[in-house]
Amino acid sequence: MSDLPHGAADATAPPVTDAAAVDALRSAVMRLGRRLKHQRVDESLSPTEMSVLGTLARCGSATPGELARKEHVQPPSMTRIVALLEAKGLVRLEPHPDDRRQKVVTQTGRAEAMLEESRRKRNVWLAGLAEGLDADEWARLRAAAPVLEKLAHL
């Protein structure tokens, strides 16, 4: 039995049976993720607000309903999040080109600059940690990055 979510396993991949390795990976990724979240430029934004801005940066403008689905939150919650981001000048609401009943959420230049500075800060922090690795560890970590990226999008 695979420890991966239903539908996530490649039919050609061997089943994952190393529960200890899966547990260690989960734990390490969660701890590193928590530590990265603390490397923020704007402490006034919640992790969810930052996530919505990141989704807009990756995927482009979207309706609040589309954002709610991508962020796995209920539409009323997304409506509140978008209102908070709009009040902070980080997103703007524009008329939907095809449906006048809907709005499209677009990030502002201020949000783009803040996200870029946040990425820079996190990269500097992570590079500082990586300096503590030896050459072999760094090579293995670099090789693992595409695999971790794949897992993040399954």
β-bridge mates for residue 93, sequence order:
105
Please give the pLDDT value at position 8: 52
Assign a CATH topology to domain 44-153.
Arc Repressor Mutant, subunit A (1.10.10)
Q: How do residues 55-105 score in pLDDT, each as one tens digit?
A: 999 999 999 999 999 999 999 999 999 999 999 999 999 998 888 888 999
Mean pLDDT across the chain: 88
User: Any residues with CB less than 8 A from the CB of 95 and at least 6 apart, and which?
Assistant: 103, 104
The span from the CA of 54 to the CA of 49, in Å, is: 9
The span from the CA of 152 to the CA of 95, in Å, is: 32
β-bridge mates for residue 103, sequence order:
95
Task: Flag whether pLDDT at 35 surpasses 80.
Answer: yes
**152 band by pLDDT with thresholds 50, 70 and 90:** confident
Compute the average pLDDT of residues 101-124: 93
The burial class, CB within 10 Å (0-12 / 13-18 / 19+), for 68 is buried
**1 band by pLDDT with thresholds 50, 70 and 90:** very low
Domain boundaries, the chain: 44-153
Span of 28-37, 65-74, 134-143 with lowest mean pLDDT: 28-37
Please give the pLDDT value at position 91: 97
The span from the CA of 74 to the CA of 62, in Å, is: 15
The burial class, CB within 10 Å (0-12 / 13-18 / 19+), for 136 is exposed
